[in-house]
Structure formats: structure tokens, C-alpha cells
Structure 1
């Protein structure tokens, strides 16, 4: 338009045009939702805004309540909520044709309002917003029920294993008693024992009798016997009788010993008790733990509640579930093993232990009912976890394969995608097919192994024992801080100006204008007298985790209700994302940010967050050893947080999600993570999306190195790969699944399916579908390449360790800032918990940005005073400084009205040498 000589309208004009179009589009969508509902359904939704629940709030508030922790009573109540929601109507019909993003927006707007506020909307919009929230609530309750079912089963398995351990402890006493009994019996039978002495004496008597009767057989005549015995019959017979008496007495001592132990029946009982739980046979105990959960689980599995569907052609578990449901009313010990068609129910999916529990050899064609039910519930929970079974109408447990892009769409975009993520060079995309991909991976593995083998002689850090083949890495000694760096750090800390958290937030809001991201969910301008001031105070209050009502006691001129209202109505997770990205972008434009990195690398790690235990998110992590949630941070090599999200105990699935959702200008390609990031599918997906995943590998010696072929052997490092001919990559499988691998990768990149959803399903239990197998094989290639790099490249190990240490420092810094309520997130709603983490990340990034500006200003002063600033010394200065920040006391708001001077992003320090140091020969080889 400029080139054509046309005048561009002002921004406000464009804004008004966009607002007008948005209003018209939303009105049209709302009208469509309204018209697809019956009059009775609309009236039912309106009653939610008027009728009261048992706690005194409106029924509308029930739509927004989060699930509680997975106790039996909460499990049962959640099934009742599902029934209540489904009675409101078929929301799938109401939302037909409405984009998922728009449904989420409408539901978010409804959730941010209360019943009285919704009554002020025009009827059509009011109904549409409540309908959208109802639709999301129906999806969420199905997600929550499936999650709670899986957690309940997991809890019962844990209790069954604990019971088994208790039995083993009790059996230890029985075993010790049986051993003592056996020792006593042995003493009776052993040489010198009473039974053995009796047997010896009886044998001697029997020998005398046999000698007396020698030469006689059964055909001898009476006269002949009488003549030959010559009167010795009586003594011989008497000896035999005595021998039998003595022998019986000997056996009697053994019998009396057993009787003293409780008798033979008691001994057999104890032996059976021990042998019944031989091995890890917790399956036989699970049904007893399920107890009253049985009825709820069966009720949940009813098609009127949760409708399950297999995501592959393998539906054995669901067929077994249907068989268990048909015999739910049975009370006998056994049920038939044949279905309604007369075919035997296939339980080949079960483990050997389960088959041992379910099948009774003496009852052919029957199942042990209670063990069969427990087996089915266990298998169903596992298949829900791995995605082999989906829940219709769910979001998290939906059939993930249906979320993939159509093959035709993938084919159209694949060429540009491959170039974008670096899987091929421009001009190569036309040649990139299954064989090309296979050859590329083979070459990658062969080249990495050949380089490690050739460089072994010069690798002073890696030693492979020639006799045992066990490798070891020499620990590298940190160089330590140079005296000049220590002097610079001390000087900077001494000159850091005293700051308040409120002032820091206010100045960054003026400078970066991140506060403009926030506002009402409708998209309209905020109707606040001073939106900047209110948003600054709310960010401070929520970021420190202080809470609005506690904060109002320390901040003059505000009320707890006002702060709570603004936080709930004007701040959303999406808007907090955008504000965080604004600070990241502003930080990246500072010259001094180059002191620590160039933004191409990111470290990801989780930190435990204290929460109330009455929610589904909280669980005990093996890593942290305490219950609670986990905040997962992606921290750039420039020391600022790119992304923060909550997660469960398995952190690895979120490594990639944070990178994909990162909308800032800082787009890293190398990812460092802690040991949790070693899953094969995670390595595979990272590679397919163009990320170089390099986690800290503490247990690298215990991991398997995979060969490119059975015939491949190496001169120096062959011991790393184990037995020759074993642990070989199945490149045929990778080649056969090429199209599906690309479809999944492009779908994740385009956002039709989240990486965390995918990786949650592609875990070690996902053995039914070829997708898991293909991701596993690609992951084996990539992880082996990284395992070969790790011991061969000392600078790489230093960078990985430094990066993961840095994110741990960030975690401590963010916890220092979130000091309110003793660090406990007091809200049980997962959405509010995520918002709390986002607020903390926003405040933490604001402090980092402000600290960096203060450090840069001090460096300028030092340069003017004649200091020579070495960029390597400056690289050791952490932005996580706290000594100069006042966290406590009365929080004055006088700085909110003071507009600060513009900051200077430039710094007269050349950081180029630092980037050149980072490019090691190994890095150059990777880049090539």
C-alpha cells in the first residue's frame, strides 16, 4: 500500500475493524450453538445460574469444580457428576462445526465469570458460553474419571504388593520354624539319632532271622523245614517280630517329632502358605484390595458412563471387560471361560502370573472370577495409559491417532517441513523417502561409532577395561572461577542498587509493556482506572504466591476482593504465555545477554511444588520423595525462562512440549535435560522435530549401545555394544514405518496433537502398535549416537552439566521469589495451579531482566573508570542475584506512577570470543 502511494490507516482503526469482525463472527457462532439446542436444554442451562448447590453456590459453579484426589468417595462422586453433566444434553451436537479453539475461548470466558455476571449477557451469548463450558466440563470429567481409575488401580496394585511384602515378613517366621522342624527330623534320622539307632538294631535282628532261615524257599515241605530248622523256628520268628517293633519305634520318634510341631496337617498348611506366594505373585492378592472399588469400576465401564474403544485392531482387553460385565452379578468362585458365541475368551494379553491366577487346572473351561475381574481392570488401566484404549468424548484419553493430519495434507507440506527442521537440505526434499531416511540414520550411527572408535586412543577421559569390557569416565575437574572474575563479581554485587520487587515489576512493565497483554476474556479494553498499576500489583501478588487477601494487608489502597477479581478475570494462561515471551524477547535484545549464551540451547528440568493433596495433579514422585506437583521449566542458555508448565511424575513427556509452545524470538535447537530425558520415543520425536536432545547421562555405562548391523564390530569400543551380533537396530522396521513417522511428526509440529499427549501414549507398555516400535527404533539410533558423543567429548559433558546446573539455579531463584504461603500453592484447581506457576515465571523473568540491566549499567560505570572487562569474566556473573532485593515489609505502590528512563540495550563488550569457544570440533562436525 505504501509503494502504491496509499495512506495506511492508524493502528486504532485496524484495532476497531478487527474488534468489529470478531464480534460479528462470535455472534454468528453463538447463534448457531443456541439454535442447535432444544428449548428444554436451554432452560436447563439457565437454571444452573439460578438454582443453588448444597454448598450455597449456584449449580453453575459446579461446572468449574476440579477433581479431587483419587479416594474411593471422590471416585464415586465423580461418576455422579458425569451422570449430572450428561443429563444436561449432548454437547457434541451443540458444538458441531465449532472450532476447538473457539470452544476453549468461550469456555474460558464463562469460567472467568460468575453467575451474576453471566446474567448481564444477552440471552444468546449467555447460553452459548454456558454451553461451551458444559461441553468442556463433560470432556474434563471423562479425563478425570479415566485418570482417577488408572490411579485407583495403581494404588491397589501398590497395596497388593505391600500386602505381599507383609506376608513375606510373616512367612519368614514360618519358614524359620519349618527349617527348625526339619532340622529336628534330620537329627532323628541322622547317624546317632534315635531313629537311626533303631533302624541299625532292627537290621541286625533281621539279619539273624534271615541267617536262621537261609536256604528255605516257599516250595519246601513242612517235614523238610522242621528237619532243617532243628527247633530254631521260635527264635527266628521272635527276632523278626522284635526287629519290626524296633523299626516301628524308630519311625515313631520321627512321627512324634512332627506331632510336637503341630502335626502333619499343620506342617502341610504352613508349607502351602509359603509356596502360595512364592515369587512376585501380587496378582493373587489384588482382588482383595479392590474391595468396594469393584462396583464403581464396573459402573464406570458401563457404556452409559465411559465408552471405551480400541485404537487398534486388537480389542482383547475390551472383549474380556465385556465378559466380566456379563458375569458381574455372579457370586460363585468360577465363571465360564466362553463368551456368548461359545468361543473361549482370549486372555493371551495377560502375563504368566495373571494366567496362573485366573486359570485353575482342575476346572477346565472356567476362570477364577475374582482374579479375572482384577486382571481385566489392571489391563484396562494399562491400555488407557498407553493409548491402546481410548475414551469416547474425552480429550486427554481420546484416540490420538484421530488427531493426526490427513496423509494428503502431510504429503503436501512434507518437503518444506523436512527443510525447516533440518532433516534435509533445500533441493533434497524430493529425494527424501523411506530409503533416504533409513540411509541417513544408518550413516549417522555408523559415522558416530567410527569417530568414537578412531578417537579412542586419544581420548584420555574414557577407559575400557580390556578384561571385563567395563567402561569408565575420568571425572573432569572444574576450572574454578578466575581471580579476575571473582573480583568483578564482588564489585558488581557491591554496587547493585537496592530494589523492591514491586518497583522491579513496575519498571519492566513500563519498559517492555508486557502488561498490555492482559484484559477481559471478551477482548475488550479493560474498564479499570489504572490497568498498568493493577496488573503490576496482581503480578507481584500472584508471582510471589502471597495471595490477594494477605497482600491487601501490606499494600495500601487495594482490597483482596479487587485483586482476586482482576487476577481471575483479566489473566489467563495464554495471556501469561505472551507476557513471558515479551520479557524473553526484550532480554534477548540486550547485548549483555550474549555473555552466557546465544539462545540456541535450552535446559529443561522439573522442581517439586508444594500443593494441597486434594487434587489429581498431586502425587508422590520417586525422584523427589514427597507428594506434590512438579513445575517444569525450560531455561535458555541466556538464563531466562522460555516456558513453564505443570506436569506429573513422568517429566520426560514435557521436554519437547515447552519448545513447541515457546512463542518467543529465542528458538533453541539444542535441548539439555536431566536423566529423565532418556526415553527412546523422546529421542526419536526430538530428532524428527529438528531438536538435538542431549541429556545429562549419569548412568551411561548401564545403558545399551545399539549396533547398525549384526556384522559390525569395532577395534577399541566394541565392548560398549555388548555381545557381538546382539542389540542391533531394526532398520527394516524404520523404513516400513517412514510415512507414519512423518505423519506423526508433522502433526505435532502443526499442533493437531500435543507432544506430551503423544509421548504419554508411546511408553514402554505400548507394545501393540507399530508406532511405538518405530519410535523406539529411531530413538535407539539417536540415543546411541548421543551416548557415543558423551564419553568422547569432554567439552560437551561440561556444557551439559553446566546447563542442567543452571536450570537448578533458576528453580531455586524462582522459589526464592515465590515465598508467599510458605511456597504452597493453595488452589486445588489444575488451571489455577498452572496460572500460579506462570505468574511466578513472569515475575522471575522480570527480576532477571531488571538484574541484567543493573549489571550492564554497573559494567558501563566500570569501563568509564578504566576497568578492563573480559567477556569470559562477565559470563560468570549470574543474573540470579538476591542480596539487593527487599522482599518483605510494607509494599509501597509509589513507584507505579513513576515512569523510568529508557534503558540502554547496548554494551561495549565484545562477546564474539565466547561464541567461538563454544564451537568445538565436535560441534562443527554436527553442524556439517
Structure 2
């Protein structure tokens, strides 16, 4: 024990020393009484004197200025009992074992509705007894009380959970404990296998695992009213118990432990497949960025060659113009407009009109000759660069990846993921955590038209689908969630109102992964991706725990927000 702890907790005050000296007749009894007084103040119960650390006894003996030969002990049971009564009387504590047991049992029973760990239940009883200023009973008494109350409370929970199951569901759960002689393993043991790396193959396996768990039954209905803490404890107990030991407990408890275990596995599986989905979408985008860099490197030489050809074209046009420097250039811009205005407002002159017509013909012939020479030289330059067809193809390949837009390249890596990702969104239930539902609406749109895409690479932004025997019009508003690069990737200027289907699917799944990470979209029945708003306390739940009116006024606006 530290010197500070000894000084703070086990240093008797002057009045306590005076009271102890007046109460006892020997140094031995004086030391024992003061040790018990300070230990009770610290522990709220009387420990055996031989259990008190030597450091405490030495510290108190030194402050009492007693010889080292004096030990903290009593010579008779009646003396010890009398000393305890002296301490209770000084501290104003009335020991009533029946009342203490009643308070402790009431606190344990209330806590056992939501807690299941025996140590936690004992701590609850201790805290309640300390708050009410009662002397603490022995640990053995509390341990036995916790075991009894916990068994009563859990027994009722086991019976309620088992009663909610049908006969077929009971049989299916119990069948999980059957050990196959050929393996020899049970399905119960196989369910404990952890998730593996987030590859597309492992994602498929985990989705099959989730479907298998969901087929067991509606665990959330079976466990209605059971607090999450108890469900986690039931699942933990089942996880560390093998099939043989599970068969030794009562059937109701066995079914409840299995239900809690399956429920926690279903929650974990949803977390796992959602996490894998987010990682796979991240990998798709990473590969798209790497591919863009590789294409840029591949097309770097081609870009330089196209620039050289463009320079040759400019040089050819300049050469054609230099061959006839006196050739008039066509009038463009404001000067041409002024000339037209002057012609329209001038007085008609037959001789002038004839002269103007001759000049116009000469200018047209000169311009035609310039265009012919320029065209011949340009075609020669293009032919030297490989020809118009080859240059056009090279230009399209290079220009396709300008602007740092790697998004069109993601589709080639998405193809192998497409069936699994649609299986994923069919297997989990998604909900928006706010009023913004643009991404969920877009997901509903792509799910509705996913089969139509087998024959059409482009789809209309408004489609007519059949749902529950009725035709429903779905309209996709990509402006509500997609950025400029995605819009450029999805839309085609030559086909207004049409969207690239595969790119649209990549876009929607990418935004879904982003919304799941940010918490704007939640997975129903998960833990890491759950809707946190539903887990917050309401003002009505918080109000009883707030003391003063000032703190209530300070907290109320925050809680409402």
C-alpha cells in the first residue's frame, strides 16, 4: 500500500484516538479497535484482524505510539463482538442482517434482468448497500444469493424464450448439436468458424453462412424482451461450451443458449459481409486508379507522337499561307459585320456593284486555291503520321482518360463481383439514418433493372417495372448523389436521357459503401453498421436521472438535438 493511501484512509483523527483510549483498557485492545474502526470506514465491513495488511497495522501502531510488541488481536470472541458494536455505535450504523439481505437481494434481482455476470451482480449489491449506509455482508453470503437469484431470473427467461419456438424450430436447433460420426463434428462447432480475408470467394462463403443462419429462425422474435447484455452472455457461454456439454443442461436453457448464440452470429455475419463489401468496393476503385496510371504511361509516347503530327499540320497550314501572301483572308469578327452594314446602307451604284462582284469572285478563287493547297499539305502531314484512321483511333484512346477520371475503368473489375454484390443487397436490409434517401432509391432502381441490362447496355433514367402485380414507374435522379466525374461517365451526349448500365451499378454500389462507412445508411440487425439513432436514450428516459432543474435545462436542448 502506498504511503498516500495509508495517510488518507488509515490515519486516525485525534478524537477517534481519544474515543478508543476511553473505550479500551489495554494497548492490544486499543490497537485492535482503531484498526477495525479505520478498516470499516474504508471497506464497510469488519475484516478478520489477521487479514489486515501489516503495513496498515504498523502505520496505526506508530501513530498511537505503541511498542512494536503490541499486536492487533483480541483474546475472546465476546471482546471482538463488543468492539464491533463500539464501532457501529460511533458511526451510527445499526446492523440488521435481515434488512441487509433484503436490500441486496432486491438490487441483485433488478440487475439480473439485464446483467448476467455474477461479479457484476455482486458489485451492484455492494454499491446499493454502500449508498444506503449498511454494513456489507460476507462475500460467501452474496455469492450464494447471486447464484440463487440469477438462477431464478434466468430460469424464467429460458422458459419464455423456449415457449416462443415452434416444435420444428426446437428440433432444428437441437439438431445442431448432433455430432456426425464421420467428421466427428457438429454443425454447432462449424458455426463457430471465424470470417476470413475479404476476397470475393470468402464473401460468397460468408453470404452462404448468413443465409444458413437466417434459415434457423427469427432469433430476434425468440429473444424479445431479453436485454442485449444477457444475450451476449448467453452467446459467450454457448461459444465456450462444446456439443457434449450443451447436451447436459436443461432443454430450455440449451435452446436459449443456442438462440442467443445464433442471434449474435447473425449480427456478426451482417457486420462481416458489410465490411467485406466496403473493402471490395475499395479494391475496385484502387485497381481503377492503378489502371489509369498504367494507361497514361502506355499512352505517353502516343501522346507525344500526336503532338508531333499536330505540329506538322500547323506547319503545313502556315506553309500554304506563305506561298501566296497576297491572298485575301476571309473577313470575320466585328469588321466583317461593319462592312455588311455599310454595304446595306450605301446608295446603289451599278458600276460599283459590278466591280464589287469581280473582286468577290477573285477573293473566292484565291481562298479556294489556298484551301486546296492547305488541304493537300495537311493530308500529306496526316499520312506521314500514319493516316487519318490510325490517328483517330489513337486520339480516342488517349483522350478517353483525360481529366484524371479513372471511374470508367472500374467497370472491368466490377464484372466478377456483380452477382455476389446483388446477392448481398438482397440478403441484408438497409435503412437510411436521415431523411436523405437518394442512394437507397438509386439502389432500388438498379435492383429493379438488373435483369434488363442483359440485353441493353444503356437504360433510360425512367423505367416501368412490375411490382406485386402492378406496374410502377421508377425515376433515377443521379444529380442527387453523383459527382461531376460520375455524371460524365454515366451520361452520353449523343443519347440524352440514357445511362450506361454497368457504370451506373458501379456508381451506386460505390456510394452505398461510402454511406455505410459514414453511418448515413445502416444495416438492420447488425452491430458495427447499426442505426445509432435508435440506440440513443429519449428525453423521457434521461429525465429521471437528472438532478437539479438547472442541469435539466442545460441538458434538455442537447438531448433533443
TM-score in same-fold range (> 0.5): yes
The answer to whether residue 482 in structure 2 is matched with residue 354 in structure 1 is: no
Secondary structure class of the residue paired with 2:482:
coil
Q: What CA distance in whole angstroms lies between the structure 1 residues aligned with 2:138 and 2:292?
A: 74
The answer to whether residue 144 in structure 2 is matched with residue 12 in structure 1 is: no
Deviation of 1:308 after TM superposition, in Å, equals: 1.0
Alignment match of 1:295 (pick from 419, 432, 436): 419
Indicate how the Cα distance of structure 1 residues 241 and 93 shifts in structure 2: closer, same or farther if over 3 A, else same.
Answer: closer
Q: What CA distance in whole angstroms lies between the structure 2 residues aligned with 1:275 and 1:415?
A: 68
Secondary structure class of the residue paired with 2:439:
helix
Deviations 1:239-289 (A, max 9, x none): x99997797455423211111212223323333333322223122222222
Matches within 5 A, 1:326-337: 326-330=448-452, 331=454, 332-337=456-461
Q: Which runs of 4+ in 1 moved over 6 A?
A: 215-220, 240-247
Secondary structure class of the residue paired with 1:4:
coil
The answer to whether residue 253 in structure 2 is matched with residue 253 in structure 1 is: no
Secondary structure class of the residue paired with 1:142:
helix
Alignment match of 1:382 (pick from 502, 514, 536): 514
Alignment match of 1:276 (pick from 354, 378, 400): 400
Deviations 1:57-93 (A, max 9, x none): 3211222222111101001111111111111111011
The answer to whether residue 160 in structure 2 is matched with residue 32 in structure 1 is: yes
Conserved 8 A contact 1:70-1:148: yes
Deviations 1:798-838 (A, max 9, x none): xxxxxxxxxxxxxxxxxxxxxxxxxxxxxxxxxxxxxxxxx
For structure 2, the residue ranges without an aligned partner over 5 or more in a row are: 1-44, 46-87, 98-135, 329-349, 465-471
Q: Relative to structure 2, which stretch is displaced further, 160-169 or 137-146?
A: 160-169
Aligned residue number for residue 696 of structure 1 = none
Q: What CA distance in whole angstroms lies between the structure 2 residues aligned with 1:54 and 1:186?
A: 81
Indicate how the Cα distance of structure 1 residues 357 and 740 shifts in structure 2: closer, same or farther if over 3 A, else same.
Answer: farther
Computed over aligned residues only, the root mean square deviation of the Cα atoms, in angstroms, reads 3.3
Indicate how the Cα distance of structure 1 residues 286 and 415 shifts in structure 2: closer, same or farther if over 3 A, else same.
Answer: farther
Conserved 8 A contact 2:490-2:503: yes
Q: What CA distance in whole angstroms lies between the structure 1 residues aligned with 2:321 and 2:171?
A: 94
Conserved 8 A contact 1:202-1:244: no
Alignment match of 2:171 (pick from 43, 56, 60): 43
Deviation of 1:407 after TM superposition, in Å, equals: 1.8
Q: Relative to structure 2, which stretch is displaced further, 341-350 or 396-405?
A: 341-350
Indicate how the Cα distance of structure 1 residues 282 and 244 shifts in structure 2: closer, same or farther if over 3 A, else same.
Answer: closer
Conserved 8 A contact 2:546-2:552: no
Conserved 8 A contact 1:384-1:390: yes
The answer to whether residue 311 in structure 2 is matched with residue 183 in structure 1 is: yes
Deviation of 1:5 after TM superposition, in Å, equals: 4.1
Aligned residue number for residue 90 of structure 1 = 218
Deviation of 1:431 after TM superposition, in Å, equals: 5.4
The answer to whether residue 270 in structure 2 is matched with residue 139 in structure 1 is: no
Q: What CA distance in whole angstroms lies between the structure 2 residues aligned with 1:294 and 1:85?
A: 23
For structure 1, the residue ranges without an aligned partner over 5 or more in a row are: 204-214, 226-236, 417-426, 435-736, 742-928
Aligned residue number for residue 537 of structure 1 = none
Q: What CA distance in whole angstroms lies between the structure 2 residues aligned with 1:329 and 1:283?
A: 23
Secondary structure class of the residue paired with 1:366:
strand
Matches within 5 A, 1:452-463: none
Identify which of structures 1 and 2 has the higher relative contact order when contacts are C-alpha pairs closer than 8 Å and 6+ apart: 1
Matches within 5 A, 1:504-515: none
Deviation of 1:412 after TM superposition, in Å, equals: 3.6
Which has the larger share of helix? 2
Per the normalisation by structure 2, the TM-score is: 0.65
Q: What CA distance in whole angstroms lies between the structure 2 residues aligned with 1:334 and 1:121?
A: 61
Secondary structure class of the residue paired with 2:431:
strand
Deviation of 1:127 after TM superposition, in Å, equals: 1.9
Conserved 8 A contact 2:231-2:260: yes
The answer to whether residue 466 in structure 2 is matched with residue 344 in structure 1 is: no
Aligned residue number for residue 431 of structure 2 = 309
Aligned residue number for residue 429 of structure 1 = 551
Count how many residue pairs are aligned between Structure 1 and Structure 2.
399
The answer to whether residue 503 in structure 2 is matched with residue 371 in structure 1 is: yes
Deviations 1:478-530 (A, max 9, x none): xxxxxxxxxxxxxxxxxxxxxxxxxxxxxxxxxxxxxxxxxxxxxxxxxxxxx
Aligned residue number for residue 323 of structure 1 = 445
**If you compute each CA radius of gyration, which structure gives the higher value, 1 or 2?**
2
Conserved 8 A contact 1:161-1:282: yes
Q: What CA distance in whole angstroms lies between the structure 2 residues aligned with 1:109 and 1:405?
A: 29
Q: What CA distance in whole angstroms lies between the structure 1 residues aligned with 2:195 and 2:402?
A: 39
Indicate how the Cα distance of structure 1 residues 96 and 241 shifts in structure 2: closer, same or farther if over 3 A, else same.
Answer: closer
Matches within 5 A, 1:633-672: none
Aligned residue number for residue 738 of structure 1 = 558
Q: What CA distance in whole angstroms lies between the structure 1 residues aligned with 2:255 and 2:385?
A: 78
Indicate how the Cα distance of structure 1 residues 197 and 313 shifts in structure 2: closer, same or farther if over 3 A, else same.
Answer: closer
Deviation of 1:396 after TM superposition, in Å, equals: 1.7
Deviation of 1:363 after TM superposition, in Å, equals: 2.4
Secondary structure class of the residue paired with 1:133:
helix
Conserved 8 A contact 2:543-2:552: no
